[in-house]
Chains A and B, each alone.
Chain A
Amino acid sequence: MSLKIVVLAKQVPDTRNVGPDAMTPEGTVNRSALPAIFNPEDLNALEQALRLKDQFPGTTVTVLTMGPGRAAEVIREAMYRGADGGYLLTDRAFAGADTLATSYALATAIKHVCPDVDLIIGGRQAIDGDTAQVGPQVAEKLGLNQITYVEEIQTLSNSPLKGVNSGKEASPLRGGLEGSSLSITVKRHIDGGVETVESPLPCVLTVNGSAAPCRPRNVKRVMKYKRCLAPMELPQGTGFGDLPYAAEYEKKPYLKLGQLSCADVNADLQQCGLAGSPTKVKNVENIVFKAKESKVLTGSDDDVNGLIKELLASHTIG
Chain B
Amino acid sequence: MSTSNNSNPLPQKGAGGSVFVYCEIEGTQVQEVSQELLTKGRKLANTLGVQLEAVAAGSGITGKVESQILPYGVDKLHIFDAEGLAPYTSKPHTAVLVNLFKQEQPQICLMGADVVGRDLGPRVSSALHSGLTADCTALEIGPHEDKKNGKTYENLLYQIRPAFGGNIVATIVNPENRPQMATVRSGVMKAEVLDPNYPGQVIIEDVAKFVPEAEYVTKVLDRHVEAAKNNLKGASIIVAGGYGMGSKEGFDQLYELAKVLHAEVGASRAAVDAGFADHDLQIGQTGVTVRPKVYIACGISGAIQHVAGMKESGIIISINSDENAPINTIADYVINGTVEEVVPKLIKYYKQNSK
Contact = CB atoms under 8 A, between A and B. Distances in A.
Interface string A27-71: 101000000000000000000000000000000000000000000
Contact of B213 (A27, A103, A167, A281): A167
Interface stretch (B7-15, B116-124, B192-200): B116-124
Contacts of B116: 190-191
A133 B131 contact: no
Interface stretch (A112-120, A141-149, A248-256): A141-149
Contacts of B163: 129, 284
Contacts of A1: none
B353 A295 contact: no
Contact of B132 (A13, A133, A195): A133
Contacts of A297: 333-336
A290 B311 CA distance: 10
Contacts of B307: 287, 289
A193 interface: yes
Contacts of A193: 223-226
A161 B219 CA distance: 8
Given A133-B122, A161-B219, A299 B337 contact: yes
B336 A298 contact: yes
Contact of B218 (A166, A197, A303): A197
B107 interface: no
A278 interface: yes
A289 B217 contact: no
How many chain A residues sit at the interface, stated as a range, is: 35 or more
B342 A198 contact: no
A236 interface: no
A279 B133 contact: yes
B250 interface: no
Contact of B168 (A190, A191, A287): A287
Interface stretch (B39-47, B51-59, B74-82, B343-351): B343-351
A173 interface: no
Contacts of A133: 118, 121-122, 125, 132, 134
Nearest to A161: B219
A86 interface: no
B304 A287 contact: yes
A296 interface: yes
Contact of A198 (B219, B318, B329): B219
Contacts of A149: 115, 119
A238 interface: no
Given A167-B213, A281-B170, A100 B336 contact: no
Interface stretch (A219-227, A258-266, A308-316): A308-316
B245 to A, nearest CB: 15
A18 B119 contact: no
B218 A136 contact: no
A308 B294 contact: no
A166 to B, nearest CB: 8
Contacts of B164: 15, 18, 22-23, 29, 128-129
A307 interface: yes
A210 B279 contact: yes
Nearest to A210: B279
A221 B346 CA distance: 54
B235 to A, nearest CB: 12
Interface string B216-254: 111111111111100000000100000000000000000
A299 B344 CA distance: 11
A100 B129 contact: yes
A2 interface: no
A77 interface: no
Interface string B170-181: 111111110000
Contact of B114 (A134, A191, A283): A191
Contact of B261 (A291, A307, A317): A317
Given A286-B167, A308-B353, A280 B172 contact: yes
Interface in B315-346: 315-319, 326, 328-338, 341-342, 345-346
A198 B221 contact: yes
B68 interface: no
Q: Which 9 residue pairs of A and B lie closest in terms of their CB atoms, listed nearest first?
A: A299-B337, A15-B165, A278-B131, A279-B131, A193-B225, A133-B122, A278-B177, A140-B126, A136-B122
12 contacts: A15-B165, A133-B121, A140-B122, A146-B119, A147-B218, A148-B118, A148-B119, A163-B219, A164-B217, A299-B336, A308-B350, A316-B294
Interface of B: 87, 89-91, 94, 114-116, 118-123, 125-127, 129-135, 144, 146, 158-159, 162-177, 212-214, 216-228, 237, 261, 270, 279, 285-286, 293-294, 302, 304, 307, 314-319, 326, 328-338, 341-342, 345-346, 349-350, 352-354
Interface of A: 13, 15-16, 18, 22-23, 27, 29, 98-100, 103, 127-137, 139-141, 145-149, 161, 163-169, 185, 189-200, 210, 277-287, 289-292, 294-299, 301, 303-305, 307-309, 311-312, 316-318
Given A98-B131, A100-B125, 10 more contacts: A100-B131, A100-B132, A131-B135, A133-B118, A161-B219, A190-B115, A197-B89, A289-B302, A297-B335, A316-B294
